Structure 1
Amino acid sequence: MAEKNQRPQRGHRMGGGPMLGAPVQKAKDFKGTLKRLGTYLKPERTRFVLVFLLAIMSTIFTISGPKIMGKATTKLGEAIIGLYSHQIKLMYAIQQNMPQSTIDAIKNQPVPLVDFEYIGKVLLLLIVLYIISALFRFAMSYIMSSVAQSTVYNMRKDVKSKLDRLPLKYYDGHSHGDVLSRITNDMETIATTLQQSLTQLIVSLVSVVGILIMMLTISPVMTLIALLTLPMSMLITVIIAKNSQKYFSKQQKTLGELNGHVEEMYTGHKIVKAFGHEEASVEKFVDINHELYDVAWKAQFMSGIVFPALNFVNNLGYVLVCVVGGLLVAKKKIEIGDIQAFIQYIRQFTQPIVQIANITNIIQSTIASAERVFEVLDEEEEIEDIEDSQDIKDFKGQVEFDHVKFGYVADQTLMEDINIEVEAGHTIAIVGPTGAGKTTLVNLLMRFYELNGGAIRIDGVDISHMKRGDLRQLFGMVLQDTWLFKGTIRDNIAYGRENATEEEIIRAADLAHAHHFIMTLPEGYDTILNEEASNISQGQKQLLTIARAILADPRILILDEATSNVDTRTEVLIQKAMGNLMQGRTSFVIAHRLSTIRDAELILVMNQGTIIEQGNHHELLEKEGFYANLYNSQFSED
């Protein structure tokens, strides 16, 4: 079998500071993948443009707030300054012993009052602006959620359809975790980015431009001073990020080692205890944990000093802005409320820049995830069924392997010139050591793989000229690895045939010798199996899969170590049931227990992909060859 390609799951993990964290997964072809992802967004372009407009409107209403609030601050400041000016004049006149008439004249001067009506109107306008902004933001999020889910829905549908068309060799070459990661984790990453990060990126870009324009309308000089602090902030961030990256990278690697060790020890804790390796396991855990502590605190420390350093630079900017702003107010070039608004804009200006930097990293990881999804969509599919396919009209069950040649890898042949003739209704046993090619032979029969040469025929019809669905309906399979789904025992057995009656289900269970143990369960056939069917024994699982195969009533039966997980007594009973089931059917039996295939009409002995011996049980024993050695090694006491 082809060696499985274990691939690590990908993702992104941000650190505590801006642009800090584990190394971002990058796509091999960023532009190409982004363009291809855009084809999925193309049907949603109208709503996407609407989201962009809503983001602009929401941001405009938000960033106009500080300047409008500055008007109220100016009006309040003028009133307070006028009041203090009047009091200072009066105190000065009294201290200088001015004439009483002068003092009375100052007292009678009108004192500036706070224009609460004007301030109230400004505050009301601000409330209206912020409410409108929030409504726009809500509408934007609502529409973008629909856009994101619709896009990912179409991607999931395409991937599911693609997975149905992929050959078995794809699943042999990729771990189940890798395939699941692509259709779950990677898809979720794309959905989250479209729904959250993309809208945040739009808002941040509009905010940066809008805030910069508002700052310029207040004072170009103060804007220039504020912008001078940006290169310093970026330089500090880059320096810290560069030094922290190595620590985050090592932290992720060490964390993976720790998780792997813990999972390994807990999975095999019985073996660890049985061989007395508890102390060695703990020592290894302590070593890895200490290494993780050493790099983790350095990574978090480097991440944690970013904001204090940036705050220091920003505070220097605030001081310069306040000093220059005060001078400009004194020269009456700007109003006092403009300083308050400008400081608010400075605080708002750095936040979207940091968000853009972080979102850029997230988008890098998202494009990498999209690339992994597109890799699945680009995989080579099964050869399509021919249009003028053939059917087996008068089924007998004769099977022929005619000069079959096959290899999992194009330049590495596993099977060469395999020739087998199986009579209708016969039982064919396939034996041999692990990796000999027994399961491969069955996979070729069911056309899970395409031949490199030769042909396989059923009743004279080349299986490559049949539709795969029609071909596989002829077969019933019972494998060594049981597969049961979460549901009742009745549903799991009925999976073998649609619309099966209760009597047929019970009869199939009875023939598989599963009825007795099912009735001992509290809920009987209504007992619900959990996700891994761990609430029944391994042998009982196998009995249910056999009952399912019996109910399916297949034309050709394939048993791949079907009785390997049951006890000897149950095995004898199942063999009797299987004997009844195989009556008149062509059956292929893969077995390691040679006692189970003594009555087979034909036994194929395989080794290294080749049939080295064939014949019935007695003929092969008389040859005193490979089969005889296998048999005698299992029954040496005979």
Structure 2
Amino acid sequence: MAKNTVKQDEDLQRHSKLEITTRLLGYLKPYKFKATWIVLLMIFVMICGILNPYLLKIAIDNNITNGDIKGLLIIGVILLILNILAAIATRIRIISMSSITNNILINIREELYTHIQKLSFSFFDNRPVGKILARVIGDVNALQELFTNSITSFIPELLSLVCVTIMMFFLNFKLALASIIILPILFISMFAVETISRKRWDAYRKKRSNLNAFTHEDFAGIKVVQAFANEDHTSKTFDKLIKDLMGTFVKTVRLNDLFWPLVELSWGVGTIVVFLVGVRLINDGSITVGTLIAFTMYIGMFWRPIMNISNFYNTLISNFSAAERIFDILDIEPEIVNIKDAVKMPKIKGNVEFKNVTFSYEEGNPVLNDISFKVSPGENIALVGATGAGKTTITSLLSRFYDTEIGEVLIDGRNIKKVDLESLRSQMGIMLQDTFLFSATIKENIRYGKLDATDEEVIAAAKAVNAHDFIMNMEKGYDTEVNERGSRLSLGQRQLISFARAMLANPRILILDEATSNIDTFTEKLVQQGIKKLLRGRTSFVIAHRLSTIRDCDRIMVIDDGMIKESGTHEELLSQRGIYFNLYMSQYKFLNEGA
């Protein structure tokens, strides 16, 4: 059962803020030296900014009061040099930080993509493709601002806040105390807003994922939509998903917008308190006018970092859900993995054995029940039976797309659970009914079976399965673009290209799962000779409902209710007058009636 559909919100495992923050910061480790250099530049810029008010205080209290023009000019030159150097350091910092951020996003995206490729079929069976794409693209992109602000905003602003606070207390303890008296109320208010905001951002990203999944599914099935004239229906569904997305976004942004009024209100109240206390202290003779002016500048420098830190905190909260969605997938362990001491599979000879194999996709509902059989090297085995009988499951276990619950699958006497996955699958070829072609040329699609194959090898493989003639009749021959999923080609032509791809790969074990079902009778005659060449010298498993295509197989196994009910050659099974006989006669009668 699917974990979620295109219209259903995803269930995510919740992570603590500390855990998410720690994992995100972990991506900065490879760039710690460059980040340290950036922090040093920011500290320099911060020191320059902090010195401005203090030098101004000296200029007012000492140079202007005493008429020291020379001293005033010296301070002016110092201020000019400091601010020019600060501007240069800021420019270098921005360029360096952009480089780090982009590299981190590339690393996260590659890690996520690589991890998803290793996940088992059950992961893809339970999720719409659009929702997976939303994690790889949209959620990773959402982290860009977070990483940029973490170094360019949070760290320098925090340092600046600490230094400004120290300078304020250095100038006057009472004024400094008056400046921060409002902070506890601000922090409590922001925490309350954050608690609700994170839930709303999580809801927003789920709705966006739903929209992405529906759009991907709708366009992938556009031929069906147009064939049944259901454009209005899908448009209404799309509009509803858009409104759901917009509704959650507006609710979230409205709450997030409270951050700014809270900070600005606190800033204003804090400034008023400082002025009231400052005027009283001037009247008492406790401070000078220069001190109050310098302190007024420090008030701005005190609250501006708080404003920027609040902005970073706001960004952090809004992107926590994106990070959580990424980590949700990264925390999924592949069901099929190499064991610790997995060995490389040597060149496969072709012995296959199933020993008392039982398997189920859902607990308590076995698809295979105590299956046992042996296959010799080079033997061609046909699997027949009703839909859902377990034929494809047998080949999936052989390819180790799933692991057996009970029993063993052996190739050349080796338990396939104990061999390296890549070394196993690289020696196997699988062709399915729904042939998948990439958005590339015909040549590139055939070469996918052997990436280092020469053009001559590609052409030879195509000729072997009788695909060469129709390819050469295409506008650009082997360099013809086939479009996504091979939409420019007929079903039969796609199958012929898949045969050529398998021929080029030269697998030791070959699996044909309804691979000829989409080929018309004329095309089938052309490809039969190619199939014979393909099967020659290698162990093969052929699944077919069209029984005429498997008459020449060495052995036919009839699968029914998860068990092998009959096994033998075509003639032997017909003579038994059992399940296979009834299937064959039913098709023969149907064809005669059709004729």
TM-score of the pair, normalised by structure 1: 0.74
Where 2:396 maps in the other structure, the secondary structure is: helix
Native 8 Å contact 2:336 2:400 kept in 1: no
Q: Paired residues, what number?
A: 585
Aligned counterpart for 1:596 among listed residues 549, 552, 566: 549
Aligned counterpart for 2:177 among listed residues 193, 206, 224: 224
Where 2:567 maps in the other structure, the secondary structure is: strand
The share of aligned pairs that are identical, in percent, is 34
Q: What amino acid does structure 2 have at the position aligned with 1:595?
A: S
Native 8 Å contact 1:27 1:367 kept in 2: no
Between 1 and 2, higher relative CO (CA 8 Å, sep ≥ 6) is seen in 1
Residues 375, 274 of structure 1: CA spacing in aligned structure 2 closer, same or farther, 3 A cutoff?
closer
Q: What amino acid does structure 1 have at the position aligned with 2:428?
A: F
Native 8 Å contact 1:406 1:414 kept in 2: yes
Residues 197, 370 of structure 1: CA spacing in aligned structure 2 closer, same or farther, 3 A cutoff?
farther
Is it true that 1:431 corresponds to 2:413 in the alignment? no
Partner of 1:334: 288
Residues 517, 196 of structure 1: CA spacing in aligned structure 2 closer, same or farther, 3 A cutoff?
farther
**Counterparts of 1:320-359 in structure 2 under 5 Å?**
320-329=273-282, 333-336=287-290, 337-338=293-294, 340-358=296-314
Partner of 2:503: 550
Cα RMSD over matched residues? 4.7
Partner of 1:525: 478
Partner of 2:394: 441
Partner of 1:415: 368
Provide structure 2 residue ranges, at least 5 long, that are not aligned to the other structure: none
Where 2:331 maps in the other structure, the secondary structure is: helix
Aligned counterpart for 2:449 among listed residues 475, 481, 496: 496
Q: Give the Å deviation of 1:530.
A: 4.8
Structure 1 CA distance, aligned partners of 2:481 and 2:214?
A: 34
Q: CA-to-partner distance for each residue in 1:114-159, whole Å, 9 max, x for gaps?
A: x776555444323322333344445555666676677777778877
Native 8 Å contact 1:399 1:458 kept in 2: yes
Native 8 Å contact 2:345 2:424 kept in 1: no
Partner of 2:55: 68
Structure 2 CA distance, aligned partners of 1:232 and 1:384?
A: 55
**Counterparts of 1:141-220 in structure 2 under 5 Å?**
193-220=146-173
Partner of 1:101: none
Residues 224, 380 of structure 1: CA spacing in aligned structure 2 closer, same or farther, 3 A cutoff?
farther
Native 8 Å contact 2:465 2:529 kept in 1: no
Structure 2 CA distance, aligned partners of 1:319 and 1:258?
A: 49
Structure 2 CA distance, aligned partners of 1:546 and 1:601?
A: 21
Native 8 Å contact 1:506 1:515 kept in 2: yes
Q: CA-to-partner distance for each residue in 1:488-526, whole Å, 9 max, x for gaps?
A: 432332333465444432232123232223223332222
Q: CA-to-partner distance for each residue in 1:595-628, whole Å, 9 max, x for gaps?
A: 3223323222223432223333344445554444
**Counterparts of 1:110-149 in structure 2 under 5 Å?**
120-137=73-90
Further displaced range: 482-491 or 567-576 = 482-491
Residues 47, 577 of structure 1: CA spacing in aligned structure 2 closer, same or farther, 3 A cutoff?
closer
Aligned counterpart for 2:559 among listed residues 585, 588, 606: 606
Q: CA-to-partner distance for each residue in 1:36-56, whole Å, 9 max, x for gaps?
A: 777776666555555544443
Aligned counterpart for 1:59 among listed residues 41, 46, 61: 46
Q: What amino acid does structure 2 have at the position aligned with 1:66?
A: P
Q: CA-to-partner distance for each residue in 1:359-416, whole Å, 9 max, x for gaps?
A: 55368557636744652578773225655x78569x4x45443433444578765433
Structure 1 CA distance, aligned partners of 2:188 and 2:218?
A: 45
Q: Give the Å deviation of 1:418.
A: 1.7
Between Structure 1 and Structure 2, whose CA radius of gyration is higher?
1
**Counterparts of 1:355-374 in structure 2 under 5 Å?**
355-358=311-314, 360-361=316-317, 364-365=320-321, 368=324, 371-372=327-328
Provide structure 1 residue ranges, at least 5 long, that are not aligned to the other structure: 10-24, 80-111
Residues 550, 610 of structure 1: CA spacing in aligned structure 2 closer, same or farther, 3 A cutoff?
same
Residues 565, 210 of structure 1: CA spacing in aligned structure 2 closer, same or farther, 3 A cutoff?
farther
Structure 2 CA distance, aligned partners of 1:166 and 1:249?
A: 24
Q: Give the Å deviation of 1:544.
A: 1.5
Aligned counterpart for 1:561 among listed residues 514, 537, 545: 514
Q: Give the Å deviation of 1:206.
A: 0.7
Q: CA-to-partner distance for each residue in 1:400-455, whole Å, 9 max, x for gaps?
A: 43433444578765433322233544422112333322222123333444444544
Where 2:370 maps in the other structure, the secondary structure is: strand
Native 8 Å contact 1:258 1:288 kept in 2: yes
Further displaced range: 563-572 or 273-282 = 273-282
Where 1:612 maps in the other structure, the secondary structure is: strand
Is it true that 1:511 corresponds to 2:464 in the alignment? yes
Q: What amino acid does structure 1 have at the position aligned with 2:331?
A: E
Structure 2 CA distance, aligned partners of 1:256 and 1:157?
A: 20
Q: Give the Å deviation of 1:547.
A: 0.9
Q: What amino acid does structure 1 have at the position aligned with 2:493?
A: Q
TM-score of the pair, normalised by structure 2: 0.78
Structure 1 CA distance, aligned partners of 2:41 and 2:327?
A: 30
Residues 217, 531 of structure 1: CA spacing in aligned structure 2 closer, same or farther, 3 A cutoff?
farther
Native 8 Å contact 1:456 1:463 kept in 2: yes
Partner of 1:22: none
